[in-house]
Structure 1
Amino acid sequence: MIKDLIGKLTDAFLKDEKSNIGKLFLIVDEQLTALKSALTTAENWRDIDAAKGKALDLLGDNVSQDRGRATDEIYRVLIRGKVARNVSDGTTNRIIEALAKTLNCKPGEIHIVSSKENNEDEPATIIVKKAPIEALSKVGMSATQFSNIVQKTVAAGVRVAYVDLNGTFRFSSSANSIETSQYGFSTDGTDGGTLGGIFQPEDDYPLPI
């Protein structure tokens, strides 16, 4: 940028960075570069996935979502969840869509059934049979916190019985023959069953939802 500034001078001035006016332009160039960087950062931080700290707090204020003790990663989940819940009608498909948007994962990573579908008799109850374990671990969300988010997403009067956080990996049903299954060992790291497990913080604080 400094060369462009000096190049705009008339021939009455010495067009050299080491000249007095060139040194002044160096100072201006530093300030303009810093300003451009600040404006670029401010523009980027309008994106919820890029915003941090106070900038993220302002995004949360826009949807009336408190931060509480949540980290930036979990606060992003809360903000997305608040927006997604506002357009959810309480049906199973909409609940799954809302949770997928909340956790920034694919709807296929979540499976919800009613207690009746799971051969249980409790009315107005759902069970999360499949949860996005990788997405939860990525943001550092505990099983309890995720269960609370699910409970907040379902319709009033509906209870979340439990969330199944087991993986899909299965051993062969026969010890003496080779069995091909989508739930067995992976061949290239992209297929096969998944292992269970989720991040469990020492301080499992409640979320402001």
Structure 2
Amino acid sequence: MFKLPDVMSLLPDVITKKGSQFGALVEVWLKQMNDLAETLRVMSEWKAIDKAEGSTLDDIGGNVGQPRGQATDEVYRMLLRSKLARMNASGSLDSVIQVLALALQAEPNEFRLTEQHSDPVQPEPAALHVSSVPYEKLNSAGLSPAQFVALVERLVAAGVRVSRVELTGTFALASIADRLEVSEDGFADEAMRHGGTLGDLYVPGNDYELPI
């Protein structure tokens, strides 16, 4: 940002007297220059998926072949990140986990996928069991469990479905019985400002489809 004292200090004293008409003109010019500099800064930032909004995100999506559909900006950012990652994904479980981690801005070790053909209770030849995915990451991305399932099924081989998803929370009990422990992962306080979150089990049903 340009500042009036800095500019005036570069000029001769004869035209920079306090309250001079020239100083007022310079101040008006500086306002225009600062507005232009701010616009250029925003334009530069909006080249990044995580900063862009609205139609600028649509332009990025058009460049990579990812339509928006009904998705909000937050969900659309996730779709764009996953689209870019899918271009180099091989379809293996490890590559699927890498794409999910990038799309949801999480760590790969927060996800766990297993092939269900070896499940001792409900074996299925072409199915995946997502046995660990952080619930809070889906919430922060504005993604429903059904939409998450659609994303996973888009990453794996054709014909492979997701049979169920275990959404992991952060709630945990005390490490020692009959002892109160202050923890961000325990029961909430009276003001409901702190406390762990519960998990859930999701079996695919119906939801609006994402354009993936």
Whether these two folds match at TM > 0.5 is: yes
Distance across 2 between alignment mates of 1:83 and 1:191: 38
Distance across 2 between alignment mates of 1:113 and 1:66: 30
Q: Summarize deviations over 1:97-150 as a string: whole Å, max 9, x none.
A: 111111111111111001133223321211111112111011221111111111
Distance across 1 between alignment mates of 2:182 and 2:94: 32
Contact 2:134 2:169 in 1 (8 A): no
Deviation at 1:59, TM superposition (A): 2.0
Counterpart of 1:10 in structure 2: which amino acid?
Answer: P
TM-score normalised by L of structure 1 = 0.81
Q: Which residue in 2 is equivalent to 1:201?
A: none
Q: Which residue in 2 is equivalent to 1:103?
A: 104
Aligned residue for 1:161, secondary structure, equals strand
Counterpart of 1:121 in structure 2: which amino acid?
Answer: P
Contact 2:110 2:132 in 1 (8 A): yes
Distance across 2 between alignment mates of 1:31 and 1:124: 62
Q: Which residue in 1 is equivalent to 2:191?
A: none
Structure 2 unaligned runs (5+)?
188-195, 202-206
TM-score normalised by L of structure 2 = 0.80
Deviation at 1:21, TM superposition (A): 1.2
Percent identity for Structure 1 against Structure 2: 38
Work out whether 1:158 is the aligned partner of 2:160.
Answer: yes
1:8 to 7, 10, 18: 10
Q: CA RMSD, aligned part only? A: 2.9
Distance across 2 between alignment mates of 1:70 and 1:160: 22
Work out whether 1:145 is the aligned partner of 2:147.
Answer: yes
Q: Which residue in 2 is equivalent to 1:189?
A: 184
Task: Tell me how many residue pairs correspond in the alignment.
Answer: 195
Residues 26 and 171 of structure 1, relative CA distance in 2, 3 Å threshold: closer
- The equivalences for 1:106-125 within 5 A come to 106-119=107-120, 120-125=122-127
Deviation at 1:39, TM superposition (A): 1.3
